[in-house]
Every structure is written in structure tokens, then in C-alpha cells.
A and B are shown apart, each in its own frame.
Chain A
Amino acid sequence: MSRTVSTVLLAVMASMASAAGVASAANSGGKSQIDALNWWTSGSEAKSMHVLKQMLADEGVEMNNDAVSGGGGANARTVLKSRIQSHRTPGMAQVMPPAIDQWCQTGLIGSLDKVAEAGNWDKKLAPRVAEGVKCDGKYAAVPFNIHRVNWLWVNKSLMREAGVDIPRSWPDFVDALKQLKQAGITPIAGGGNTWQVATEFDAVVATVGDAEFYRKALVELDQRALASDKMVKAFKRLRTLKQYTDPDAAGLSWNHNTGLVVRGEAAMQIMGDWAKGEIINDGKTPGKEIACVTMPGNDNAYIYNNDTFVAFKVDAKAKRRGQAVFANTVMSPKFQRRFNKAKGSIPVREKTSLKGFDQCAKKSAKLYQKAKKADALVPTMSQDQAEIGAVKGAIFDVIAKFYNTDKMSAEAAVEALASRVKQAEQMSSLSAG
């Protein structure tokens, strides 16, 4: 690029930045205010953010709900990057824990340590969750909730009709799949797209090993675990699942598939507890007509997903106060209850009352405590909770290739998994140094 062009570019950027500076200075007259960049645009999510906005207003903080729709957060992530480039950094932004790490390395992350200390977050968060919201050992983000990913949603009446018991172990599960198929019932509603297959894969990996194996392979990316026989077994089990999934479902969305289970057109779905929203929409009660059971063979592991908002470095004192009030409010029992009841997740704050929550949420909370004691809480790979985008993408590619190529062996998939993950790790660590 020639020097003149870059000068012009810089000039344009500088003028944009100064214009933004003027605008924000004009906005922050006296009152504390905070921009919250997020990708929560669906009905219940947007409503939850509105609740937060009102609760913050009571504290004298004006929150701008900068919700960016589309792309499962991809668009919001792009907006975040361009805002940072043009010096309009939002005070709080929805960012997944692995990306908090990535942003941490850029030195742009602020601190919530004082709020966390005052609010005693160390006691109010499970250690594994607290770990995920820290940057250089200091609290940098506030967690909103806990979703459980490794649920199996079962249409009870279909199972009763086919005379099949709800399975507990993997062999029972495969037997149940066989019997359902023989009875002319689609056993699994799934497939659809790589994201759905990866959600199934998460649960399947936890069937071949305990939480420790899951953590070693999909969180710590230990090469030996990734290339292990256990991983080969996991891929073979994923193929078993595919055999009992309607092939026509390719390209259909997860909520369409949940609908199939609710309406009795398929028996089961492996999906996170956001599926509850679809069940309720169809006029059924989660835990009643549609059972929520632990993925067979997953007794040990609780695969979770939590939404977090990270604090970016901001100069204005009013904005820092805004960040503190934001974090404090999100962690308050009142917001935790209201938000999580609407979202279908459970409160991330320990010992929050679950009065009025549905059966599945209560079950989830019990399993969460059990897993916490056994150190079996593991972040989900499929929902951007365990890995940064580059590594997750590499894992997704291998899963997609294997799932869609019947002649690809599980051994070849495992080999590809180990080498692709290594490459993605190396590529993304280049700029960190």
C-alpha cells in the first residue's frame, strides 16, 4: 500500500474516531452510562436485557442495549472489532470465555476485580466457572447463567408405545434406538447442520471417558487424548447415532428437530436446555410430556455453557462505575432469577432460590452441584465455550467431514482431528507472541 493511501486511510480513521469521541463526551453528561454489546435479539432474550436496563436505571446507570442480530454472534463479534478499531469500545460486550482469554492478550480488557471482591464472587461461583471469567487471574467478565448441553429430550408417550424404557447407559441407548427403528419410529431428531452434530459429539465424547477425558481432549487439547483409542470410539458412536437419525433432516434447524420430538414424529433429541423454549412454545411442559434426562453414559459429566459479558478498558470514570453496577446487578439474586427463568438456564450464582423454576431446571441445578463436587463440570466445545474460534472451527470441520463421508474411518477422523487442532493452535498463537 502506498504511503499516500495509508495517510488518507489514517486521516479517515482519525476523523471517525474524533467524531465518536465528541459524541460520547456529549452523551455522558453527569449520569453513568454503559454500552452493552450483545447478540441477544430473540424475544425472550431481548426482554431479559430490557429487565436489566430497568434495574440499572434504578441504580442511576443508563444502559445502551447494542444488540446485533445474526450469525450466532458472528455479526456482533465483527461489530465489536470495528468499534474497538475506531475507538468506540463498548463498556461491556458479550464474549465467550475462550475469547476472553484471546482479548486478554490484547491488553484491552478492563477489570471487575473490585466488584467481585466486594460481592464475594469467589464463594458465589463454581471454581471452574470463575476461572473462565478471569483475565490474568483477575475477574474481567460477569457470568449470567448456566446452560446444560448434554441433555436427552425424550417423548415419553412414544417410548411407552414402543415399549422402550428410557435408557441410562450407552448399550441401553443403542438397544432403545434399535427397538424404536423397528417400531417404525424415527429414533433421533438431529443432524441438521454441523453445529447440531457437534452438540451430539460433545455428549458422545463424554460417554467414552469421564469428565477428565473430555477436559483433556476438548478443553486442554492434549494431543495424546485427541489421538487416543477413546476418541476413535467416540467417532464410531457418532456414526451409530447418524444411523438412527433421519437423513432428510440435513439442513433443518435444531428447533425444527425439537418440534419433531414434541409432536411425536421422532423419539429423542440430544440438545442443550434452550430446547425448553421450543417445548413450551408447543404447549408442553418440559419434564412432563417431554422428559429431560442425562445423556446416557454421561452420569459423570456436566457439560455447560454460560453467557458472559466482558468489561473493556474505558477511560471515563462514569463508564467504569457503569461497568461495576452492571456486573453487580447481573450477579444479584433478583436478576439471576428473572433472567434465567426466561432463558431456560439456571442461575450461575450459588444458592439462588429456584422457586418457580421448571422441573428440568431444578434437576439441572442438582446435577450441577453434584458435578461441582466431583470436579466434573466441563465447558462445551460445540457452543464456543471451550475453544477459540480457530480451534473450534478446525474440530467442526473434522466432525462435518466424518459425519458426511460414510467411507471415512474413525481412525482417519481422529488423525485429522489431532493434526488440524495442532495447526489451528499454532496459527492462532503466532500473533500472541
Chain B
Amino acid sequence: MATGQIPKERKQSRFELAAWSDWLLPKLTLIPSLIAVGVFIYGFLGWTIWLSFTNSTILPSNHFAGLIQYEAMFSLDTWHVSLLNLLIFGALYIGVSLGLGLLLAILLDQKIRAVGLLRTIYLYPMALSMVVTGVVWKWMLNPSMGVQHVVRSWGWGSFSFDWLIQPDMAIYAVAVAAVWQASGFVMTLFLAGLRNIDDSIIKAAQLDGASLPRAYLKIIIPSLQPVLFSAVALLVQLSIKSFALIMAMTGGGPGYSTWMPAIFMYEYGFNRGQIALGAAAASLMMLVIAVVILPMWISEFRQKRNARNG
């Protein structure tokens, strides 16, 4: 008895130590990244919001100034243009990329040959840096050396495609380039989603007399909702923070006609020495992202919980 007692005790303490380290280790390993995230994301986020209520110019100041930066911002034509461009660009970028991506995914899912190759080709634009995309499209859409020039040199003298230099149209030219870059990526997301759908569901639907388009519309596309959610969440934040593409393609021009909130923020915060005004723009950008993403996130969360409970 006595001899058996000691190993048992030791076993128990060892067990306790293991339980304790099981409890502690994950927390220990998480702490550095939690601190980093806390400081460099939430800390600076809070600091940015605070700065937007100060009178900071070339250096951060802690002098509270109320809402003057926001008032000034909404009195500026550059801000209104930036917001309007965000709406136009965002709607086109998200809408067309999703539509095109879904269409391409459905077409690729039709058991055709060389799917792997095609998928890679469509995905490639996403591998390019935004700056490269911007520069390439800048030359292609430049009227005196790009598409317009080439078509005219073929003999169609009146052909005109000069969106890039038209202040009202330049943002659409930017959207074209952005869609070109993103839709292949969205396609890959949808394709993965489609591959996860059990073939038997489609077969069952067809046995019940549903046509193929109807089966897609009523069964397959609705079951892609989680993929759709991820794609939208990605595209929304990409469109709100889009910067490099525009800088490379138009430099915000002609004039400031292709500015977006991120460019506004950079221009005022860094170039013009109006840190507080830039911070105000950054804070509003974050608010917009939160307004779009949070409800989606909450509904997703609720669905998951319901699924678990039900």
C-alpha cells in the first residue's frame, strides 16, 4: 500500500502540473501578439480617433478642438468627391467582381478540360502588385498611346476611348482595372464553394424536374452564402482602403477627380501637414468599414449559433 502510495501522489501532481501548464501555455504564447495587436492596432486606432478631435497640424498635438476637423472636412469639395468616388467605385468593384467571379466559377465548374490551368490564368492578376496593375492600365487607357491610339492606327479614326483623361469618367477607368484584378480571385473563392456542394443535391433537384439554371438559382447559389460573405467582406475593405491602384493609374487626377477617402487621408495627413484632418478622414473610413462589416459579422455569428443550438 505504502509503496503504491507515492507513485500515485506523484502521478497526481504531475497531472496537476500538466493541467496548469495546459492552462498557462496558450496564454503565455498569446500574450506577445495580444500586446502587439493591442498597441499597434487598437492603441493607434484610438490615438487616430483622438487626433481627429485635436488641432494637430504638422505634429500631433493634444489640444482638444471638438468637431472642427469634421466640419472642415465636410465643407471641402475634395471630401465630397472622395466619398462619391468611393460609392461609385465600391458599387462597381464589388458588384461586377462578384457577378463576373460567380459566372466564371460556374462556367469553370462544368467539368471542362484544363480547369487547373484556366483557374491559374484567371487568378494571376491578383498576384500582381496594385502598382503594376495601375501602371499597365494607365498606359493601356492613355489616349495618345494606348487602346485608342491602336484602334485609330487601324483606320477607325473617330474611335474614342479616353475615360482616363475625362474628370467625370476617370473613376470608371480605375474600376475597370480593379475589377480585372479582383474577379479572378473571387472566381476561385466561388469555385471552391461550388466544389464543396454535393453532386447528389443537383441530381436530386434534376430528378424532381428542375432545370439546370433553376437548380443553380434556387439551390446552388444560395448555398454559396458563406463564400459570398467572405468575398464581400474582403472586397468592401479592399475598396475602402484602395490607394495604390489609383496613385499608380491617375495619381488622383485629373485634378482630384479620382480621389478616394484613403488618398484624401494621405494628402491632408502627410502631404499638407494637416494631421488632425487626415485623422478625421481615417476615423470615418473605419466607421464605414465597421458599419458594413459588423452587421454581416453579427448575422453570420447568429446563424452559426442557431445552427449549433438547433
Residues of A within 8 A of B (CB): 1-2, 5-6, 8-9, 12, 71, 74, 77-78, 81, 84-85, 99, 102-103, 106, 193-194, 246-252, 388-390, 392-393, 397, 400-401, 403-405, 423, 427-428, 430-432
Contact = CB atoms under 8 A, between A and B. Distances in A.
A405 B274 contact: no
Contacts of A427: 57, 68, 72, 274, 277
Given A9-B39, A9-B47, A427-B72, A251 B61 contact: no
B271 A71 contact: yes
Contacts of B42: 5
A431 B123 CA distance: 49
A396 to B, nearest CB: 8
B253 interface: yes
B165 A393 contact: no
A106 B273 CA distance: 13
B271 A397 contact: no
B95 interface: no
Contacts of B302: none
B181 interface: no
Nearest to A246: B144
B143 interface: yes
A9 B43 contact: yes
B273 A84 contact: no
B270 to A, nearest CB: 5
A390 B267 CA distance: 10
Per CB-CB distance, the 5 closest pairs between chain A and chain B, nearest first, are A400-B255, A250-B165, A1-B46, A389-B272, A248-B144
B63 interface: yes
Interface of B: 35, 38-39, 42-43, 46-47, 50, 55-61, 63, 65, 68, 72, 75-78, 138, 142-144, 162, 164-165, 167, 250-251, 253-257, 267-268, 270-274, 277
Contact of A390 (B46, B143, B273): B273
A5 B50 CA distance: 13
24 contacts: A5-B43, A9-B39, A9-B47, A77-B273, A102-B273, A194-B256, A248-B142, A249-B144, A250-B164, A250-B254, A251-B138, A251-B164, A251-B250, A389-B271, A390-B273, A390-B274, A393-B268, A397-B76, A397-B255, A401-B255, A423-B75, A428-B273, A428-B274, A430-B68
A281 to B, nearest CB: 20
Contact of A401 (B77, B251, B270): B77
A16 to B, nearest CB: 12
Contacts, number: 122
B47 A1 contact: yes
Contacts of A99: 58, 273
A78 B272 CA distance: 11
Contacts of A431: 55-57, 61, 63
Contacts of B165: 247-248, 250-251
B96 to A, nearest CB: 23
Given A81-B58, A400-B256, A389 B273 contact: yes
Contacts of B143: 248
A430 B65 contact: yes
A237 B59 CA distance: 38
Nearest to B266: A74
Contacts of A400: 253-256
A289 B267 CA distance: 39
B267 A5 contact: no
Contacts of A397: 76-78, 255-256
B256 A390 contact: no
A360 B253 CA distance: 32
A403 B253 CA distance: 11
